[in-house]
Amino acid sequence: MMTVAGSALVAELAPPGMLGRATSLIGLAVGISEAIFLPVGLWLLEVFGLATVAWSATAFGVLGLLAAARLPDVHPAPARPSDPSALGRRAMIVLLAGPFLVMVAVSLPYGAAASFLSPALDSIVSGSGAVVAGVGLGLLGVGVIVGRTFAGLVSDRRGPGALVWPGLAFSALGMAGIAGLLTLSANPWWFIAPTVVFGLGFGAVQNEALVGSFERMPRSRLGTASASWNISFDAGTGLGSVVMGAVAGFGYVVLFMVAAGIVLVVGGPAAVGARRTRPARDLTVLHRDDKVGS
């Protein structure tokens, strides 16, 4: 509920022409929180026990409630006859299909990397896989933050969808790079490079898909757009762990090559529908503001 409502709220509050940067702040907040408090939480668990971790999490929840009290009142916008929502459920599915499939195409390899990078590296140097994989996945998160932030800036300047293709290319290159290094049985620390490359592409596609989902829906359906994006993220991550687990039986090289192929085979055609120029409604608002200012 928090992730869906939070994303929709950001889209509701974003000023005209700043939707890309506003949505990138979601990734920034989540990424920084995970990067800092995942290791801190594990340290608290080891040193002080589970009760301390639970009470600390409760304290953060209280801080969130206090911050939420400062939010402005937002009321649902009534649907208009010209809105896509008036066309029915099928029309909304068609409009959201492109961003949805693009997100599945990159979150599935992410789920595979999160689950199988450590055992894959252990197959090269026994005992070192978990350490290198932990560092690599942490830096992957940093790459996601950078990719989302950069995509948000570009989206506001050039229109949503400009970085869908580059993001997919980086994601596929990262997965292929991991497979290539596994083939060469390279030093585990070399795997950090393709992992970060994947993170950059993953972050860019995340932001582009979220902005694209919002742009396709009227204000009365921002919650639907947010739910669609979050479902695609979670579905792809889960499939990456479950489905790719079956592929792992053929070897980790095959697993990561298949992951790279999924990015291109699923994400490529979906990107055709995911990329679109800035909608006329935003331009109208911007022009109206310019006239008022002049």
Helix (H, G, I), strand (E, B) or coil at 88: coil
Domain with residue 270: its CATH number is 1.20.1250.20
Decide if 218 is inside a domain.
Answer: yes
Decide if 19 is inside a domain.
Answer: yes
- Which two three-digit tokens encode residue 114? 């999160």
Angle of helix 222-247 relative to helix 192-216, nearest 10 degrees, comes to 150
Per-residue model confidence (pLDDT) at position 69: 86
Decide if 294 is inside a domain.
Answer: no
Over 70: is that where the pLDDT of 279 sits? no
Rounded to an integer, what distance in angstroms lies between the CA atom of residue 54 and that of residue 20? 34
Average pLDDT over residues 260-270: 91
pLDDT tens, 116-126?
A: 998 898 888 76
Decide if 285 is inside a domain.
Answer: no
Average pLDDT over residues 54-69: 91
Number of domains in the chain: 1
Which residue range(s) make up the domain with 7? 2-69+90-275
Decide if 77 is inside a domain.
Answer: no
pLDDT tens, 178-187?
A: 999 999 988 8
Q: Tell me the pTM.
A: 0.80
pLDDT tens, 158-216?
A: 877 888 999 999 999 999 999 999 999 888 889 999 999 999 999 999 999 999 888 88
Decide if 158 is inside a domain.
Answer: yes
Rounded to an integer, what distance in angstroms lies between the CA atom of residue 243 and that of residue 179? 18
Average pLDDT score over the chain: 83
Over 70: is that where the pLDDT of 294 sits? no
172 neighbors 271 (Cβ within 8 angstroms): no
Decide if 190 is inside a domain.
Answer: yes
Decide if 104 is inside a domain.
Answer: yes
pLDDT higher at 283 or 155: 155
Over 60: is that where the pLDDT of 293 sits? no
Over 80: is that where the pLDDT of 150 sits? yes
Over 60: is that where the pLDDT of 76 sits? yes
Residue 250 pLDDT class (50, 70, 90 cuts) = very high
pLDDT higher at 248 or 256: 256
